[in-house]
Amino acid sequence: MIQLEAINHSFRIGQKGKERIVPVLHNVNLNVRRGDIVAIVGRSGSGKSTLLNLISGYIRPTEGEITVSGRKVSRLTEGEWADFRLGNFGFIFQSFQLIPSMTAYANVELPLILKGMGEVERRVQTLSILKKVGLEEYAGHYPSELSGGQQQRVSIARALVVNPPIILADEPTGSLDSENEESLLTFIKELNRESGITFLIITHDDRVASIADHTITLKDGVIA
């Protein structure tokens, strides 16, 4: 489902002519199988977020090749990446990243608008996903009117609404209390079992990592 081959990545820091190169990832090779839950763990600065940004196409690897769903993606243009990302990935973030001026319904509907889906079909699909995450009755509420756990469920609904084969999650429980964390982890396991969605989860939380089929540890940019 996701394959990384000999990935090296460095950032250039400083003004032009006075730049210094900071290596972040070193010869990373990784295979994620379809339908697996994979956790990537490691200390802050170990390269976890860089790895996620490479897989999702927000940055390009300095060296190496990335293949997602059978397609080599490292050389896609920005436009090609935007289309590919919309059709293949859902995203769950620690900070939820909901648009505060839009209702829960509108936040979830947005990816379908970007895909060019018709209004009637959008409504059916959006309400169906909100019902799936238990928030159908909160469709008209704004993020500020929802609890942290409810906001995270809206973000999950937004990730699910385009039926992506892969969900990338960056510290998805970082803003949740223990009760909501447990509820979210149970829901992720159910989604994985029922829909076969592949999950790649960045986390420093052992409880989150415990639900994974495989755990990968990054240390100083190297898979330990």
Q: What is the pLDDT of residue 19?
A: 82
Other beta carbons within 10 Å of 178: 9
Say if 143 falls within a structural domain: yes
> Containing domain of residue 7, as a range?
2-12+22-223
The residues facing 61 across adjacent strands are none
The domain tally of the chain equals: 1
pLDDT for 104: 97
pLDDT above 90 coverage of the chain, percent: 71
Domain CATH code at residue 109: 3.40.50.300
**Is residue 26 included in any domain, yes or no?**
yes
Nearest to 134 by CA among 99, 167, 168, 180: 180
Q: What is the pLDDT of residues 193-214, one digit of tens each?
A: 998 999 999 998 889 999 999 9
Residue 61 is assigned to a structural domain of this protein: yes
In-domain check, residue 51: yes
Buried b (16+ CB within 10 A) or exposed e, 204-219: ebeebbebbeebbebe
Within a domain: 133:
yes
Whole-prediction pTM: 0.88
Confidence of residue 20 (pLDDT cuts 50, 70, 90): confident
Position 114 in a domain? yes
157 in Cβ contact with 108 (< 8 Å): yes
Specify if 106 maps to a domain: yes
Please report whether residue 17 resides in a domain: no
**Sign of the CA dihedral running 214, 218, 222, 224:** negative
